[in-house]
Amino acid sequence: MKKIISVLLFIVFMCPVMGFAAENDFYVSRIDEKLFARIKGKSYKDNCTLPLDDLRYVHVLHKDIDGKTHSGEIICNVHIAHDVLDIFMKLYEAGYPIEKIRLVDEYDADDETSMRDNNSSCFNFRFISHTTKISKHGLGLAVDINTLYNPYIKEVGGKKILEPATAEAYTDRTKSFSYKIEPGDLCYKLFTEHGFEWGGEWKSVKDYQHFEVSDKVAAALYPDNK
């Protein structure tokens, strides 16, 4: 009996410290009333046309650059929920650094504020500008990781558009710095192995924080989203 108790204590107290995932730390659940109250009017806006049942809450653990363990929570589409869970579990077990994984609702669903705080997130309902088509973040089919250090960069009329606007120091991808996503690193490998595309490989723009399902997959899941 003492041996059993010792093993249980080891699992409870030592597994998170050593980087081993416990089942109750990594799980997927439906959006209940309490959680819906947190996102209503924020990421789940009043004009949201995506059924609530198409979303799932994913609870994870993650390590920061100093190796400290934190709880994380993310809302994504039901069709990728278990992929996302598996990816974050493997990132945690490998000690891959992610600074924050908080619901974007903690930032009043303001993407710029969330990105400036280096927050990693997924669902935030919105239509693509000047259309009635829901964006992939609006469908919960895109995930952004370590956003401050992996910005969105676009040139328009010779002018650089940068999101977040505070990320200028991280636009030179030849430099080495913390939380940087690169081709071939573990974050890149896990997302692409699960079928996601990386915005850092796009041609016309660069979105180094961004992993999304393909247009083909999104169209198959939501054929009326045009």
DSSP string for 88-100: HHHHHHTT-B--E
pTM of the model: 0.90
CA–chain centroid gap for 1, Å, is 42
pLDDT digit of tens for each residue in the chain (226 aa)?
A: 555 444 444 444 554 445 555 668 999 999 999 999 999 999 999 999 999 999 999 999 999 999 999 999 999 999 999 999 999 999 999 999 999 999 999 999 999 999 999 999 999 999 998 899 999 999 999 999 999 999 999 998 889 999 999 999 999 999 999 999 999 999 999 999 999 999 999 999 999 999 999 999 999 999 999 9
| DSSP 8-state secondary structure symbol assigned to residue 21 | P
Provide CB contacts within 8 A for 185, sequence distance 6+: none
CA–chain centroid gap for 36, Å, is 19
Task: Tokens for 1, please give them.
Answer: 């009996």
Which H or E element spans position 35?
Answer: helix 33-39
Q: Give the 3-state secondary structure of residue 214.
A: coil
List strand residue ranges (DSSP E) for the chain, in order.
27-29, 55-63, 69-77, 100-101, 119-120, 142-144, 152-156, 159-163, 197-198, 206-207, 210-212
**CB of 113 within 8 A of CB of 48?**
no
